Amino acid sequence: AILPPTFPPWPPTYNFSESLITMQCNSSGWSSPERGAEFGIVSYDWSNAKVWWAAEKPMNCEELLLQQAIETKRAARRQGRRIHVFVYRNIVKALPWFSTVREKLNDPAYADFFLKFDPANRPYHVPACAAENQSLCSSYYHDQEQTPQVP
């Protein structure tokens, strides 16, 4: 099915500083909130501050991205600007470094929300077990591309 086009809930503008969008990412730490505040729309990539959240057990990507968004909004307010801030979340993959996604992956009530490997179609084109620890396996379809701590 094709979804109908939707428009942002704010009025359109031809003011370049209010309509310019940026997708920011600094995998080694915070992106500059002051730099982000210079744009009308800021989208932070999930791998922003990856060096920090990937080291946590469990990983706290979602919480750090929220903090990044809050700090960017604060920086914009200090500059007297109103901006829109988003966090990019993959719509196809269930990335477990987001705590709300991990919660659903671990809850049997949501098991049918996710694609599973089909045992009749072995071998799979991606491994079902973690590359760094073959005892960590999942029946859910997944890949390990860009996965923290995977060689």
Mean pLDDT calculated for residue range 90-117: 90
Q: Does residue 121 lie in a domain region?
A: no
Residue 133 has pLDDT above 90, yes or no: no
Q: Say if CB 132 and CB 149 are below 8 A apart.
A: yes
pLDDT score recorded for residue 136: 86
Q: Does residue 2 lie in a domain region?
A: no
- The number of beta carbons lying within 10 Å of the beta carbon of residue 19 is 12
- Number of domains, the chain: 1
Instruction: Spell out the alpha helix ranges (H) of 16-115.
Output: 16-19, 33-36, 50-53, 61-78, 99-105
Q: Say if CB 131 and CB 144 are below 8 A apart.
A: yes
Structure tokens given for 138? 């999942």
Q: Say if CB 88 and CB 44 are below 8 A apart.
A: yes
Domain ranges, residue 38 = 16-91
pTM (predicted TM-score): 0.83
